[in-house]
Amino acid sequence: MTETPRTKLEFSLSLYPDPVLRRPAVAIDHFDEGLRATVSAMFERMRASSGVGLAAPQVGLGLRILVLNATGRPEDDLALINVTILERSGPLTVFEEGCLSFPEIYAEVKRPERCKVKYCDLEGRQFEREFEGFESRIVQHEYDHLEGVLLVDRMSPADKTRHRAALAELVERFKTRASSKVAR
């Protein structure tokens, strides 16, 4: 495999507690070249950050787009547009989740093993699909982002205590960035 030259990434990550992460995302109504470009830039951002999933609010866009790849193989790239979870089923499982909007913070989250979704592809065609295991975990995590729900909301009280300092530091860093933008 040849190495691709490093190009500047179009999207930077929105980090907690950026308010864009709290706004419910809105549906896409134009399945055009702009959407394809956005999705492709989201995949780039996800890979550059070694993520397995990314939701549009995490790159500052309040749109119902999520991308994921559970294996790292290019053929497993999946973009879900206007996704809705129709059903969650199976036993609750615990898994340690990370989030690109919470660098270096990991927390155990309980979620049902399976989920069934309906979504559109890049051409606007509707599909239904059932996920299980790791993919289902990613879909449910990224879906939370579209509703403004974050890892910090899903943490156990013990994890919240354990990560209190790291969370406070993210808040401080956000305030510093926000005020330096105002000063400029």
User: Which residues does the annotation mark as catalytic?
Assistant: 142
Cβ closer to Co ion: 31 or 147? Answer: 147
**Residue 21 near Co ion by CB under 5 A:** no
Distance between start and end Cα atoms, the chain: 43
Q: Any contact of residue 35 with Co ion (CB under 5 A)? A: no
85 phi and psi, to 5 degrees? -85, 120
- Strands in 107-120's sheet, in edge-to-edge order, are 53-55, 65-68, 78-97, 107-120, 126-132
Question: Residue 51 and residue 72: Cα distance in Å, rounded?
Answer: 9
Least distance in Å: CB of 102 to Co ion? 7
Rounded distance between C-alpha atoms, residue 179 and residue 167, angstroms: 19
Asked if 66 touches Co ion (CB under 5 A), the answer is: no
**From 52, 99, 115, 167, residue interacting with Co ion (rule: CB under 5 A):** 99
Closest CB to Co ion: residue number: 99
- Position 13 contacts Co ion (CB under 5 A): no
Per CB under 5 A, residues contacting Co ion are 99
